[in-house]
Structure 1
Amino acid sequence: MRIRKRVAAVAVGLAMGTTGVTATGTAAAQEGLSVDWHACPQYSDAVLEQLQIRPEDREAFRALWARTECGTVRVPLDYRRPAGRQLDIAITRLKATDRSHSLGPMFMNPGGPGGSGYLMPAQLVLENPTNASLNEHYDLIGFDPRGIGYSTSYDCPAPEGDPGPQEPPSGPLTKTALRRMYDATATHNAACSASNPAFLRGLTTANAARDLNTVRRALHAPRAAYFGASWGTQLGAVYRSMFPATISRMWLDSVVSPRAYDFSYRFPGSARATEEGARLFTSWLASRDSVYGLGDTPSEVESAILALREAADAHPWEFSDIPQPLDGSFVAFLASAPDLAWDQAGTALHALTTATPGGPAPQEIKDLIAPPQDTPPEPPADAPQPFNETAQNAYLCNEDTSARDFDSLWTEYQRTLSDNPLTGLLTALRPTCAGWSLPTQHFTLKHSQGSLQLSAHRHESSTPYPWAAEMRDKIGGTIFTVEDFVHGSLPFDPTCASHMTTYFTTGVPDAGSCPGIQPKPRPEPELAYNATTETAVQAS
C-alpha cells in the first residue's frame, strides 16, 4: 500500500447477535427499494497495474472479481424531498463463502473524503489471508459515496484563466505570498461551488450516511456491520449516530476527532502530532550520535536541525544535479519522517551538515529527490475513478465551521510555525475553504450503547492518538491501540488484522494492542521529496 501525505490536505459493546439476511426485510420490499444488479466492469492489465495490483496477484484478483456482484441503488439528492432528483449509489458485493452462517452485510470505506470504496472488498481480501477470513461470514459491501467514482458524480470545471494550484515559494511565506495563494484558492472555490450548487450542497457526511442506510434497506438486511478508516471513521460515527439500531458491529481505524468539521482545531492538532513525532526522532538520533553525528542529547539534535532549517531558509541549497533549491521545508520534511524512515532521514540530515552548495548533491540527498512530475498520462479508458477532488472539497467545505477570512488564516499560520519549530514549515499551511459559497451543514454525533471498536495509532499525525478518546467520549466504544506511526495500517498488518477479524466474528470488544507496521532491520527507502510541490511520500 502507498500512502500519500500532502502538506496540509480519522462504551463496551453489548448483546450482539447475528444479523443474517432473512426473509424479514419486507418493509424495504414494500417501499420498492432494491438493488439494480448489473454486470461488473472488467479491467485490463493496464488498469490493474494502475491499481497497484502486482502481476503475481492478478489471477487471484480476477477470481475475487468473478465472485463480485455490482449494482446501484437510487437515493434522493435531498432527503427532505424524497420524490425529487435521484442519484445512483454504486455498490459491490462479495458474498460470504459460508452462507449457512452468514452475519449479513459489512460496509467498507477507505477514507477521503473523495476516496472510492468500490473495489475495497476485493482489495482488502487480497491483502492477506487474515482479512480474507472476513468474507467467510460477511457479505463485503464496497461503495462509492455520492459524488465519487461510479456513483453520480461531478467534476468542477477550471475557471477561465485559472492558473491552478499555487506552489508556495521557498521558506516561510510572507503575508503577501500567502495572500496570493489565498486569493487563488478563493477564486477557484467560488467558481466551483457556484457551478453546480444543487448537487454540491448535497455532498455531506450525513447524506452519505443516509445513503448507506438506504442501501442497507435495499439489501433487505435488518442490520449491517461497518469498517472504515480515516474519513471513513467520520462517516461511520455519523451513520451510527443517526441509525444506531441498524448497526451490528463497527470498527473504525485511525479515528478522526469529533471536531473534524472545525479546521482551526483539526489541522493544528495534526501539526502538533507531527512535531511530537519529530521529538521522538531527535531522541532516537541522540542515542545514535556515533552514526548520525547530530548530537548526543535530544536538545543538541534539535538545535542542529533548527540551525540547518534556518540556514536553508536564509540561503537555500542549490546543487548542480537537483532541479530546485532545497530550503527549510526540506529540513522540516526530514524532521517529520515516520520511524520507518528514520535511518534514511537521519543519514540525509547528517549529509546536509557537510554538503557543499553549487556542486553535485550528496548521494544521500539525491536518493530522496523524486523526479520532476510531468503531466500524468491519461488513465486507461476502463479505469475506475479512485478519487474525486471536487467531492473532497465539497464534503470538507460544506461542513467546515472555522473562520475563512485571510487574517484568521494568517494568524493560524504564524502560530503553527511558532508552536512547531521542527516541522511547522511542512504542516502550517492548511487547506482552506476560502471562497466556498455554499452554507455550512454541521453534522451531529450522539452516544449509543451499540457495539463499537475504535483503533488509534500511537504516533501517527494524520489522525492523532488522542482523537480516538475524544470520539469514544462522544459516541461510545472501546479503544484498541496500534503501536505504529502509520495512518490506517490496521488491516495491512496480519497480526493487527487478526484482532479486527476476531471482533467481527465474535462481537467481543478488544481493549488490547498490536505492534503495527514497524521498521525493518535493513530498511528499504521510505521517503521521496518533490522539491517542486513539497510533497512527501511514505511507503507502508
Structure 2
Amino acid sequence: MRRARVGGMGGLACVVLTLGSAALSNAVPAAAAASRSGSTVDWKPCPTYSDEAIASLGTPNEQIPQFRAQMKRLECGTISVPLDYRHPKGRKISIAVTRLGAVDTEHRLGALAMAPGGPGGSGYLDPIRMTLRNKVIAQLNDRYDLIGFDPRGVNYSTKTNCAGTPPPNAGPGPLTKASAERIYEATAADNAACGRSDPAFLGQLTTANVARDLDRVRAAIGERRLNILGFSWGTWLGAVYRSLFPGRTGRVFLDSPAPPYTSFAEHDEGVAEATERDFARMAAWLARYHTTYGLGATAQQVRATVLKLRHDYDANPKTFTDLNRPIDGSSVAQLAGMTSPHWPQAGRALAELRDATSPQAPPTVKEILGAEPPKPVPGAPEMMNMTMNRATICNEDQSRSGFSAAWTAYQQRLKRYPVTAFYFGAGCAGWPLPVQQTRVHRTGGSLVLSGHRYDIMSAYKWTLQMQAAIGGKVYTVDDDVHISATYVPECAADVVAYFTTGRIDNGCDGQKAPTPQDAQQAGSRT
C-alpha cells in the first residue's frame, strides 16, 4: 500500500460520471501523438514463459491454455523516457509496455491502463491477468485496449538493485527498547547504503515520475486521453497522474485508495487502527461458532481469550521442533489480524495454540505461521521490486522518524490496539536522498474511489480523505478484502458498466464473509 499527500484543495470538484461513449472516443494517429512527446513504442516479440512460470503468477493450471492464447494477442514493446524530467535531453531509460487490443474494434472506447500496486509491482502482464480474473471483468477488453506497463525500476523496465540486509532478530517475547534500537540502527544503516548505491537513478524513483512515464506511454500509443484502473499504490499513481495531466485523463476507477499524505508513520497508524477494528468483526464471527472453536460465546469473551493468549505466549514463548520461528505474542496478533476469508483458519490456529502441548507445531499453526516463501521460478517475470518499493516510499516519506518518535509511536499502538498491534519498523530512517513532495488536487473529470469498509491495508477513512482532497464519487465495497472490486462478479459488473457508460451506483457487497458451512468444515478438520 502507498501513502499520499494533500495538495491544492481550492474550489469544489466538478465530477462527471455520465459521459457518453463519444466523449471518450479518443484514439488519434500514433505518429501525431508521438511526435508531440518524442515517444514511440519499439514493438518487439513478447517474452515466452514455461508453464511453471505462468503458474507462479497465480494462474490456475486449467487457465494456462487461456493465458497462452492471450499471449498470442498481446503486443509488447518499450519506450524511451528521460530519467530526470528536469533534464529531458539527458540520460534516457526504458519503460516496458504491453497492449491487449479491444476485441470489438468497431465500438472501441479507448485505452485503459492498469496501474499496479506496490510501489514496485509489475503491471506488464496485467492485461492478460485481468481477462482471466473472471468472465465479468474480462468484458473490459471488449471495448478497451488494456494497457500494462512496468514502472521505472521494475521487471523489464530500467532498474537497479540494492539488496537489503534484514534487521537483527529481536528474539521471542515482548520487544525491548534495546532490541528496537538495534533494529532501528541497522535499518537506518541499510537504507543509507542503498540510497548511496546509485543516487542518480534512485532519486528519480517517484510517483510523479512514474505518472510522467505513463503519460509518455499514452502519447506513444496514440491516445488523447488515458483511462486508468488503479489498485492499492496504483490509486496514488492514478491520483497523481490525474492531477498532473487533467486534460489527458479519461475515466478513472481507484480500488482501495491510498491516503492523501506521504507519511510512513501516519500510514502505519492507519493500518494498525483498521486491523484492530476488523478484529472486532472476527471476534463476533468466532463467537457465533463457539461450539466449533471454543474461544468464547460473545465477541467480548473472544477478545478476552485472544488477549490472554497473546500475553501468555509473550510471557512463555514456545519453540516447536518443526517450525523455524518461535511462537510468541506477536504470532497471536498476526492470527488475530487475518481478514475474513481466513477466519476459519485463524480460528483453528488460535484454538490449537490455546491447547498446544506437543513438541511439534499444531497443523494449522504450521500451515499459517510456518509457510515458506515460494522459490523463484527460472524465467518468470519479476512481480515485485523491493528496491523500487523502498526508494519510492522513502523519496516521498515526510516522516522519517527518529528512534525516539518511532519507539513512542510503537508503544502507543500497543496500548491502543492491544490484540493486533505488533509491528515495529524504522521506516525510512537513514534514507540519504531529499524528500520530494508530490501534491494532488481537485480537477474536473470522471473519478470513482472504491473504498472497502473494513479494509486493513487501505483504511476506509483514507477513501473519504482522498475524496476531500481530489473529489470524485465514493463507491463502497462492504468487505475487508483489499482490491476485491474486480474479483467479485457483482462488483466487477459495476466496474465494467462504469468504464462503458460513465455511470455507477454507490457500492456492492464485495467478498462475503465465511458461511456457517465454512465454519463447520473448518471444525471437522480440527
TM-score, with normalisation over the residues of structure 2?
Answer: 0.91
Shift, 1:352, TM fit:
3.0
Q: Using the alignment, how far apart are the partners of 1:70 and 1:511 within structure 2?
A: 37
1:370 partner letter: G
Computed over aligned residues only, the root mean square deviation of the Cα atoms, in angstroms, reads 2.4
Name the structure 2 match of 1:435. 430
Name the structure 1 match of 2:85. 79
Deviates further, 79-88 or 28-37: 28-37
Aligned with 2:168: secondary structure?
Answer: coil
Name the structure 2 match of 1:534. none
In structure 1, list runs of 5 or more residues that go unmatched.
Answer: 528-540
Name the structure 2 match of 1:345. 346
Shift, 1:65, TM fit:
0.8
Equivalent residue for 1:136, pick from 132, 139, 142: 142
Shift, 1:155, TM fit:
0.6
Q: Using the alignment, how far apart are the partners of 2:515 and 2:392 within structure 1?
A: 38
Equivalent residue for 1:419, pick from 416, 421, 424: 416
Name the structure 1 match of 2:383. 386
Aligned with 2:412: secondary structure?
Answer: helix
**Change over 3 Å in CA distance of 1:461–1:245 after alignment to 2:** same
Shift, 1:15, TM fit:
5.8
Contact persistence 1:19–1:224 (CA under 8 A): no
Name the structure 1 match of 2:370. 370
Name the structure 1 match of 2:16. 13
Shift, 1:147, TM fit:
0.8
**Change over 3 Å in CA distance of 1:25–1:250 after alignment to 2:** farther
Q: Using the alignment, how far apart are the partners of 2:448 and 2:459 within structure 1?
A: 17
2:180 partner letter: L
Q: Deviations over 1:94-118 (max 9, x none)?
A: 0111112211111102200000000
In structure 2, list runs of 5 or more residues that go unmatched.
Answer: 5-12
Name the structure 2 match of 1:147. 153
Shift, 1:448, TM fit:
1.3
Shift, 1:466, TM fit:
1.2
Name the structure 2 match of 1:482. 477
Contact persistence 2:17–2:447 (CA under 8 A): no
Name the structure 2 match of 1:247. 249
1:46-57 aligned within 5 A: 46-57=52-63
Contact persistence 2:163–2:387 (CA under 8 A): no
Q: Using the alignment, how far apart are the partners of 2:365 and 2:413 within structure 1?
A: 27
1:64-463 aligned within 5 A: 64-157=70-163, 164-259=166-261, 261-356=262-357, 359-371=359-371, 377-380=375-378, 382-425=379-422, 428-430=423-425, 432-463=427-458
Deviates further, 324-333 or 189-198: 324-333
Contact persistence 1:486–1:517 (CA under 8 A): no
Q: Using the alignment, how far apart are the partners of 1:104 and 1:124 within structure 2?
A: 17
Q: Using the alignment, how far apart are the partners of 1:524 and 1:87 within structure 2?
A: 52
Shift, 1:157, TM fit:
5.0
**Change over 3 Å in CA distance of 1:257–1:327 after alignment to 2:** same
Name the structure 2 match of 1:537. none
Name the structure 2 match of 1:34. 40
2:129 partner letter: Q
**Change over 3 Å in CA distance of 1:146–1:170 after alignment to 2:** same
Name the structure 1 match of 2:7. none
Q: Deviations over 1:30-77 (max 9, x none)?
A: 554211111111112221122222222111111111111111111111
**Change over 3 Å in CA distance of 1:403–1:195 after alignment to 2:** closer
**Change over 3 Å in CA distance of 1:338–1:31 after alignment to 2:** closer
Aligned with 1:61: secondary structure?
Answer: helix
Contact persistence 1:306–1:421 (CA under 8 A): yes
Aligned with 2:98: secondary structure?
Answer: strand
TM-score, with normalisation over the residues of structure 1?
Answer: 0.89
1:340 partner letter: P
**Change over 3 Å in CA distance of 1:320–1:73 after alignment to 2:** closer
Contact persistence 1:341–1:526 (CA under 8 A): no
Name the structure 1 match of 2:10. none
Contact persistence 1:340–1:520 (CA under 8 A): no
2:495 partner letter: M
Q: Deviations over 1:493-523 (max 9, x none)?
A: 1111111001000011432323335425544
Contact persistence 1:496–1:516 (CA under 8 A): no
Contact persistence 1:344–1:526 (CA under 8 A): no
Aligned with 1:479: secondary structure?
Answer: strand
Identity across matched positions, percent: 45
Q: Using the alignment, how far apart are the partners of 2:54 and 2:520 within structure 1?
A: 24
Contact persistence 1:484–1:516 (CA under 8 A): yes
